Chains A and B, each alone.
Chain A
Amino acid sequence: MDLQWMAWTGPTAIFFVVIACLLLIFTFLAIRSPETPRVGVLRIETTRGDRLFITLLGSAFINAGWLAMSGLPQWWALGICALYAAAVFRWV
């Protein structure tokens, strides 16, 4: 299969593989141990999947904000995203 037209690069491939793996893991978790939604600090009902979505969307904005304003290495933003993810999964 010729995928040259999609202009793949190593980093973008890793990016999508990580997201695909996350989706697979969370699907597997949802089948293995289904959960009831809970209400957190946002006062909305969330499941694990919702919290993953909030984490990914928020991480995109954290990275964009970091890139626009900090001028420091982008890897640090990833660290902030990890903290943010932990907070989302704990309190949201």
Chain B
Amino acid sequence: MDKVQNNKAWFLVLPVLVLVAFSAVIPLMTVVNYAVQDTFGNNVFFWHGLGWFEDVLTDSRVHGALGRQLMFSGIILAIQIPLGIAIALCMPKRGFWASVCLVLMALPLLIPWNVVGTIWQILGRTDIGLLGYVLSGLGIEWNYARNAVHAWVIVVVMDVWHWTSLVALLAYAGLQSIPQAYYQAAKIDQASRWKVFRYIELPKMQGVLLIAVLLRFMDSFMIYTEPFVVTGGGPGSATSFLSIDLVKMALGQFDLGPAAAFSLMYFLVILLVSWVFYTVMTNLDKQEGK
């Protein structure tokens, strides 16, 4: 007997469709409309064509923000992924201490972004902050408000502190799912610790690590609150990442047109990266399923 195809179940998706339309599609359409017009307020708009896009695409300020953003995402991925794996490998596999470690690791993830920003903003100050006080006590002229390198150091360390736990927890979950038989086989073959990691643990963690990289890349690519609270994008524009620059343009200067064009380009980059990661992930699943 032929299988009966009934597509009526698709109607059950309608509520989500309406929700997404109001929360994402309609605002996005409005942004597209803003991007081709100029306004002086009062909801009066003038046609500007592709001018704003041309400005944004050739603007050194936007290029600078994009460069800093890519550098930031690259640095934190290069630190957090290996560090997260290392922490996961060191965590106890079972028992009381495994639970203690899990709870401790989860703590930074529960703290809201602006609170994390405030914690590090105070911690880094030389007058009342422990970190700043110790560093200046060691003879280092520490000042993250004036020195660009110091500002970068504090923003990167803050992100590592906040989010390495996520990578570690994901890697830990991946490690826990490896059957003991693999380790036993490795023991029989007298495989070294490195070989166990390279040929058993790392391949088995591939899926979760890819998710970790995707999550951390997207989050760091859209980061706003933490660097905004700590450095405000400064000194100068040393830590002005894409979203900080975008908000300055859209709300600070109220340049709706350029900001709309900017956010659409930003959106396109995120869409591209998400699609690449999604495709890689689904293909990986299919390969594992075979």
A6-B30, A68-B57 given; A60·B37 CB < 8 A: no
Q: Give the total number of A-B pairs whose CB atoms are below 8 A apart.
A: 53
- B20 part of interface (Cβ distance < 8 Å): no
Q: Is B60 an interface residue (CB 8 A)?
A: no
By the criterion CB–CB under 8 Å, are A7 and B34 in contact?
A: yes
B36 within 8 A of A: yes
Interface SS of chain B: helix
Shortest C-beta distance, B3 to chain A (Å), equals: 12
Contacting residues, chain A, for B190 (C-beta < 8 A): none
Interface residues contributed by chain A, number (CB under 8 Å) = 21
Q: Is B43 an interface residue (CB 8 A)?
A: yes
Contact pick for B47, options A9, A44, A74, CB 8 Å? A9
Q: How far is the CB of B84 from chain A (nearest CB, A)?
A: 28
Q: Report B-chain residues with C-beta under 8 Å of the C-beta of A53.
A: 275
> Which residues from B are CB-within-8-Å of A6?
26, 29-30, 33
With known contacts A9-B36, A15-B32, A44-B279, A67–B50 Cβ distance under 8 A: yes
Q: Flag whether A64 is at the interface (Cβ < 8 A).
A: yes
Residues of chain A contacted by B286 (CB below 8 angstroms): 45
Would A12 and B36 count as touching, CB distance under 8 A?
yes
A6 to B36 alpha-carbon distance, docked (Å): 12
Cross-chain contact B58 with A68 (CB below 8 angstroms): yes
Q: A12-B32, A16-B32 are in contact. List 8 more A-B contacts (CB 8 A).
A: A4-B43, A6-B30, A12-B29, A44-B283, A45-B286, A57-B268, A60-B268, A67-B57
Interface residues of A (CB under 8 A from B): 4-9, 11-12, 15-16, 31, 44-45, 53, 57, 60-61, 64, 67-68, 74
The 13 sampled A-B contact pairs (Cβ below 8 Å) are: A7-B39, A7-B43, A8-B33, A16-B29, A16-B32, A44-B283, A57-B268, A57-B271, A61-B268, A67-B50, A67-B54, A68-B57, A74-B50
